[in-house]
Amino acid sequence: MRIAVASSGLGHVARGIESWAADLGAALAERGEAVTLFAGGETSGRWYERSVPCWRRDSKEAQRVVRWLPSRGLWRLGLATGYGVEQATFALRLIGRLRRGAFDVLHVQDPQVASIVCRARRLGLVRTRTVLAHGTEEPLDFLKRFTYLQHLAPWHLEQARAAGVWRPTWTAIPNFIDTETFRPGRADALRAELGIPAGSPVVLTAAAIKSHHKRIDYLIDEWARLADASDGLSARLVVAGGREAETDALVTAGRARLGDRVTFLVGFPRSRMPELYRAADAFVLCSLAEMMPIALIEAAASGLPCLVNDHPVLRWVVGPGGETVDMARPGALAAALAPLLADPARRRAAGERGRRHCEDAFGRDRVVDRIVAYYRRVLEPAPSTPAPVPEAVR
């Protein structure tokens, strides 16, 4: 079985999709599977990695296409954004690699890459069967095109079935985490490097630094509210994430409002993320809904109590180690953070529960076993009997 894992942003973009691809490629290679990891940027030099040149989303070429296409109606091809152009140029070159390498399975989270390669299979250009891991909130009308689809949480699969959009060849398998890399501990040297006073609790978020979806503006507001309500707040907020169009404005506004109570880490190296989690005392994620956030399971595996919005997927991910908050309501997060920051024993107990839950539900070996079994199911010559739909997430 020849497996391809691909990401058009890998090597030049830092998001959950790229982390997922890198981690999956590494895990499959370590197990001895015949895997190749295709990246749209520079590779890290590992034997199983290959670079596939493409027009990157922020390149002049991609932006020129975005400006040119709308007037010609070709936005319907998924090329209305720089990311869409990047995926298309990546996919067209990837097809040649898949054909020459006689790959059996392609596993990808980039939706347009999946769509283009599926079309190439229907045209007889490749024999590769594509599995789309649905991590980008595509609508059901788009998802129903795919024979092989990995939902990242049982709730998403249940929602699709309730809407009448479901196939027996679909599955629900979560993201996974290496619980040896992401583990509890201390990182006093990094705290000192960041200028965080000894003894000050640290609340961390790891997300793209933007208002839309990740709601970093809400987090800044809530931290300011917490500071106003707390006489001499010693806790520090650390915001780590990739750069977006609005990042600079958010960083400027956050520093003006919070002063030295906040530290922004734009483009913090992924290789140092385990250390950053160990430098923190709690983790927050302010998005109202997520497909299955990798940062959240990294934080839970690192023994951090996690505060998230009250959404079924987020509630399922954090399990007994997290607290849910109505983050659509101003003041809700600040009210939940105050008692947590004041009680180290409570943080420690919640972190231990979350770590155990993460090992059981999202440990790398268990999840990758399920992924490899799904590949074998995908390659069966005839559709298997319908798999049971997971029970509703409580």
Assigned domain for 261 exists: yes
Judge if 163 and 31 occupy the same domain: yes
Total domains, the chain = 2
Number of H helices, E strands in the chain: 15, 13
64 and 84 together in one domain: yes
What are the residue ranges of helices labelled H in the chain?
Answer: 16-30, 60-68, 82-101, 111-122, 140-143, 154-162, 188-193, 216-229, 247-258, 273-278, 294-301, 312-318, 332-341, 344-362, 364-378
pLDDT at position 79 is 61
Judgement on whether residues 52 and 147 belong to the same structural domain of the protein: yes
Statement to judge: residues 131 and 249 lie in one domain: no
Question: End-to-end CA distance of the chain, in Å?
Answer: 37
| 152, 239: one domain | no
Q: What is the pLDDT of residue 393?
A: 39
Q: Are residues 225 and 344 in the same domain?
A: yes
Shared domain check, 149 and 139: yes
Q: Is 258 within a domain?
A: yes
pLDDT given at position 113: 96
3-state helix, strand, coil in the chain (%, to 5): 45, 15, 40
Does some domain include residue 388?
Answer: no
Cβ pair 41, 11 in contact under 8 A: yes
The amino acid occupying position 40 is G
Residue 391 domain-assigned (yes or no):
no
Beta bridge partners, 108, equal 6, 132
The pLDDT of residue 150 is 98
Q: Are residues 210 and 316 in the same domain?
A: yes
pLDDT of residue 36: 98
- Domain identity same for 260 and 374: no
Q: With left for phi above 0 and alpha for psi between -120 and 50, is residue 267 left, alpha or beta?
A: left
Which residue segment(s) compose the domain that 358 sits in?
A: 188-362
Provide the β-strand partners of residue 282.
203
* Per-residue confidence (pLDDT) for residue 74, from 0 to 100: 47
Considering the domain architecture, whether residues 222 and 339 belong to the same structural domain is answered as yes
CATH code, 347: 3.40.50.2000
Asked, for residue 103, whether it belongs to a domain, the answer is yes
Amino acid at 179: T
Q: Which burial class, exposed, middle or buried, applies to 189 when counting CB atoms under 10 A from its CB (0-12, 13-18, 19+)? A: exposed
Q: Does 386 map to a domain?
A: no
Domain match, 97 and 225 both: no
- C-alpha–C-alpha distance, residues 201 and 85, integer Å: 43
Inter-residue contact 274 to 183 (CB < 8 Å):
yes
Its pTM stands at: 0.88
Identify any residues that bridge with 50 across adjacent strands, giving them in sequence order: 38
Q: 120 and 84: one domain?
A: yes
Question: Which residue is it, tokens 């936005």?
Answer: 75
Tens digit of each residue's pLDDT, the chain (394 residues): 999 999 999 988 878 899 999 999 999 999 999 999 999 999 989 999 999 998 877 767 767 776 766 544 444 455 668 888 899 999 999 999 999 999 999 999 999 999 999 999 999 999 999 999 999 989 999 999 999 999 999 999 999 999 999 999 999 999 999 999 999 999 999 999 999 998 899 999 999 999 999 999 999 999 999 999 887 789 999 999 988 889 999 999 999 999 999 999 999 998 999 999 999 999 999 999 999 999 999 999 999 999 999 999 999 999 999 999 999 999 999 999 999 999 999 999 999 999 999 999 999 999 999 999 999 999 998 544 455 544 443 4
* 392 part of a folded domain: no
Q: Extract the tokens encoding 288.
A: 């109202």
In a domain, 389, yes or no: no
